[in-house]
Chains A and B, each alone.
Chain A
Amino acid sequence: MTLLAMAATIFVGSLVAGFLGALTGLGGGVVIVPLLTLGFGVDLRDAIGISLISIIATSSGAAVAFVREGYTNVRIGMVLEVGTTFGAIAGAFIAAYVAKSFLGGLFGAILLLSAYLSVRGRAQGEYTGPSDKVSSLLRLSGSYPTPDGERKYNVTNVVPGAILMFGAGMLSALLGIGSGSIKVLAMDQVMRIPFKVSTTTSNFMIGVTAAASAGIYLNRGYVEPALAMPVTLGVLAGSLVGGKVLVGADVASLRKLFSAVICVIALEMIYKSLTGGL
């Protein structure tokens, strides 16, 4: 394949990935690695490096609006980024010593988990209890806009949440994903932060998390410009359009469809890893 044909097809694939990722809230990152490895035969480590770069672009692009509208809790983000940043650095080092077949299998497993988390209903109601000690000390309580005006909230279980964030950062660096679904799980279910604040603050943190390992990948030679160009531009454009369409779309059924696609991709990744095809 010529460079031009390769760049054009990868661009279109990344555009679709970014569009669906933004529309469903799963993020484009989860499909970039399978797209490059299964679809274009790119080496797994190169694919992970490129995916991390594209994640910084989409996270930063989407955060512009969320921060401006007042959903994102910058303080919570900053505190939890301590966990994700050092988790990511640890992950980037472990990645060098782990076999590709293991990484591929782990990738498939985490994809299945993400798909499950995105379709599962959220039964838990709003948290009306007090802040815990750490939360009070760091003044993590905040408020976010609703149709009825600003709504205030408290935060609890900060330390368990931060520990989970270390794990999320590690997975992000190992697999080249944003770990958004795990970050949201930790904030929404464990720290009891309102869902909309959890998702936007998770997105806000993804850029810092990915940057903490992407520099190491770049230095190891896993970020190839010829691939980085179509992927970052495609995912960024796709996610900007997807974010606009989000209002008014039938998100629930789209999310189910995308989750089904992700399950198929996950099984393919696991199969390829077991048979040594990655």
Chain B
Amino acid sequence: MIKLVNVVKTYDGDVKALQETTLEFQEGEFVVLKGVSGSGKSTILSLIAGLLKPTSGEVIVDGKQISKLPDHFCSEFRRDTIGFIFQRYNLIPTLSVRENILLPLLPKNLAKEEMQEKFQRAVQLFHIQHKEESLVKNLSGGEQQRVAIARANVNDPKIILADEPTANLDAKLSLDFIEIMRGLKVSNRTIILATHDPLFFDLDFVDRVIEVKEGQCY
């Protein structure tokens, strides 16, 4: 389903973030990319999401060469296929929970009822319905994380990418997050999670752990 073929990513011409890498992820697979900061995990996620173009090589998702797509087609692809959970959540603090979660649906011009239905499903699934009118800046870290997950899922994406999702959470909230991921795995999403948190390395529902070290995958 997701293929990286001989992908190299270099920043500013000389910082080699990813050495020539070939990787494949199957549909419904839960893969953990483990490695220290700067090892190249986030680069892999950004390449799959089409947020970055490789320096050379191909990134193919669902038979489509994402790395060759013009930017605005890449945005459409991302909107329809990928849910991205960022380390710092990347929510808009001055908007409410509802507005943040509905954001990915706005460009699709859906009917009001359909948007409401998707919104309700997302907030109920991630237990955030009691906060739907609160401003995001007034929420705790754990609540913000749930909003970020709800936003990433509101479009029912086939693929979920999570970049250090528990870096800003305490142990209890991290365990809560793991349970949410378990639920998503059951719904047959392809999930790729980049982390250096050992909590994820021995989980029963994780299909594969790939170690990323100095831009190479092991």
The yes or no verdict on A and B being binding partners is no
Interface set of B (CB-CB < 8 Å, partner A): none
